[in-house]
Amino acid sequence: MGMFILRRTGVMILTALCLTFVVFFLTNLFPNLEKLAKTQGNARMSDAEVVSWLDRNGYGGPLVVRYGEWLGVVPGWTRTNDDTGAVTGRCIDFGMDAEDAPTRCGLLQGDLGFSTVSDDEVGNIIGGRLILTGKLMFWAFALMVPAALLVGVLAGMREGSRLDRSLSTFSIASTATPEYVSGVIFIVVFASTTAGISGTLTEWGWLGSEGWLGDRRTLFLGSARSAMEDGITFWNFFLPVFTIALYGMGYIARMTRASMAEVMTAQYIRTARLKGVSFRNIVLKHALRNALIAPFTVIMLQFPWLLTGVVIVETLFNYNGFGWTMVQAASNNDIELLLACSIVAVFVVLVTQLISDIGYVFLNPRIRIA
């Protein structure tokens, strides 16, 4: 078991290195750097000036060396200005003496660099944003996983029954509705003052100044901006959470249903039935534990998918979390911030894969790894 975890971790680190290198390569292509130089320096730079600007700011030199600097295994670049004799470098912050600065500063030292657009340390930006997204993810999971397991177990316990068919159709419909579709529909139905249910209720005078919800004019809020500042309420946070949860729910429910249906045909379930155990006890005590092993893997592997969902939902609902930051970094050519975002994304994906692999082995007594 120890060997297995060690090998998996090794492969994971190798994968992480490859992926971050690809991201580093793609964000540091020459057109990106040229754009950076022109936005940071002067929009009308000539090609030679661009090259010299890049060299002065540490973007010159071979890609592999710069990647090493960013990782923190190669000493950071330093340049001495010929005219003033001032020393600048990757690890020398403003007002810091060149002698005091550390030689290496990169990912391994916990230094993610400096965001050129926000004028702040990347570490400071990412941290707050991750907490915001963490809240969103937490509530989405808290809603999605129990609901999906319930739907899956109910559908799978009597395969082919009417309940199974209607719940399966529901799961198919939910996997067919990406976040940007369901989000738009929910906003129109629940959060528009002119259309949908909220609009009708306002017309009837049930919402609005004298309505059920005090002075709130819609059933839910179509923007999660107030959830960042004033704290999370059901009113301002339900729609984004539900939008994320709905898309992932169908897939988990279908996997749970398949696994449950398979378990229900097993010999030991038949034995229990013949012994006269009630159906409720068969499902709850005999089938459920074995049926939930496969969904565990699926739930862990849902994290990467949720990442896409989070980006869409945060953009749609104006919630300035991690996904929104990534979109901003990518569209503003904010290289260091985008690199840090990709590190987080890759880390989340790989760690959940690792957990799902190890968890599967732990949960399933039929698998033994020497």
Partner 1 sequence: MEQLTWTGSFGAFLNPLLLAALVIFLLGFVANTILALAGLRAGDMEVNADGTLVFKRTPVDYALMTMKYAVLLFLACCVVFVLGGIFQPDIQAKGILGAMAARLVPVWIALIVIFAVSVTFKRKLGLYGKLFDSPIGMAGFGLVMFWIFAAVFSGLIATHGALDVISGLRNDLPGTPLPNPAEGQYPYYLLGGDNLGRDVFSRVVFGAADVLQIAPVATLFAFMVGITLGLPAGYFSGSAFEMRSPGFYITCALAGLAAVIGAISGGLSVGLWTLVAAAVAIGLFLTVKLDTILTFIANLALAFPVILLFFLLVTPEIVAAGVPQYMSMVLFLFPIIFLVVLFNSRFHTQPMTRNILVAAAAIVGFTAYFSLISNRSDADAPIRFWPEALDFFDIPGNLLIVFVAVVFVNSPTVFRIVRGIVLDVKTRDYVAAAQTRGEGPWYIMLWEILPNARGPLIVDFCLRIGYTTILLGTLGFFGLGVSPESPDWGSTINEGRRLLTVYPHPALPPALALMSLVLGLNLLADGLREESLRD
Residues that bind partner 1 (CB under 8 A): 11, 15, 18-19, 22-23, 26-27, 29-32, 35, 162, 168-169, 172-173, 175-178, 180-181, 184-185, 187-188, 191-196, 222, 304, 307-308, 311-312, 315-316, 323, 326-327, 330, 333, 338, 341-342, 345-346, 349-350, 353
The residue behind tokens 């930051």 is 325
CB 74 within 8 A of CB 62: no
Q: Of 29 and 131, which has the nearer Cβ to partner 1?
A: 29
Q: Of 149 and 313, which has the nearer Cβ to partner 1?
A: 313
Q: Of 32 and 109, which has the nearer Cβ to partner 1?
A: 32
Question: Cβ of residue 259: shortest distance to partner 1, in angstroms?
Answer: 16
Supply the Cα-derived Rg of the chain in whole angstroms: 26
Report the candidate in 81, 75, 73, 31 with the shortest Cα–Cα distance to residue 55. Answer: 81
Q: Of 236 and 292, which has the nearer Cβ to partner 1?
A: 236
Q: Of 11 and 86, which has the nearer Cβ to partner 1?
A: 11
Give dist(CA 276, CA 260) in Å, integer: 20
| Token code pair at residue 235 | 């009113």
Question: Cβ of residue 230: shortest distance to partner 1, in angstroms?
Answer: 19
Torsion of CA 55, 59, 65, 66, to 10 degrees: 150
Give dist(CA 100, CA 108) in Å, integer: 19
Question: Cβ of residue 305: shortest distance to partner 1, in angstroms?
Answer: 8
Question: Cβ of residue 360: shortest distance to partner 1, in angstroms?
Answer: 16
Question: Cβ of residue 369: shortest distance to partner 1, in angstroms?
Answer: 18
**φ, ψ of residue 120 in degrees (nearest 5):** -150, 160
Q: Of 224 and 349, which has the nearer Cβ to partner 1?
A: 349
User: Which contacts of 80-89 are long-range, i.e. CB under 8 A and separated by 24 or more positions?
Assistant: 88/56, 89/58
**78: helix, coil or strand?**
strand
CB 74 within 8 A of CB 68: yes
Residues 6+ apart with CB under 8 A from 304: 348, 349, 352
Report the candidate in 249, 230, 22 with the shortest Cα–Cα distance to residue 146. Answer: 249
Q: Of 78 and 177, which has the nearer Cβ to partner 1?
A: 177
Q: Of 89 and 199, which has the nearer Cβ to partner 1?
A: 199
Give the up-direction half-sphere exposure of residue 250: CA atoms within 13 A in the CB hemisphere.
17
Q: Of 41 and 304, which has the nearer Cβ to partner 1?
A: 304
**214: helix, coil or strand?**
strand
Burial 254-280 (b: 16+ CB within 10 A, else e): bbbbbbbbebbeeeebeebeeeeeeee
Question: Cβ of residue 311: shortest distance to partner 1, in angstroms?
Answer: 5
Question: Cβ of residue 177: shortest distance to partner 1, in angstroms?
Answer: 5
